[in-house]
Amino acid sequence: MTNYKPQFHFGTTERQTNGQVFATYDEAQSSALNRFRQWIIPTDYSVIETDDPVNYMWDGHTDVLLSDKRGETE
């Protein structure tokens, strides 16, 4: 299963992700754009594929942390 992570660019060579993983490219893209607009250090953003389990969703306005199997949040 392919999931998606926001990735942030710092200068021409450095790329970093955070702990967020989304089920769709569009969710990850919206989240990355929203965060990119708030930060001043990144120079760009993108989305990368991952096999990590989904732990966030995009609700159209913000990131929403999903509960784990025990009903707790990370």
Tens-digit pLDDT profile for residues 12-68: 899 999 889 999 999 999 999 998 888 778 888 899 999 999 999 999 999 999 985
Q: Is residue 74 part of a domain?
A: no
Q: What are phi and psi of 73, to 5 degrees?
A: -105, 160
20 is a domain residue: yes
71 in any annotated domain: no
Give the pLDDT confidence score for residue 70 in this predicted structure: 44
Q: Give the CA radius of gyration of the chain.
A: 12
Whole-model pTM: value is 0.64
**Residues spanned by the domain of 49:** 3-65
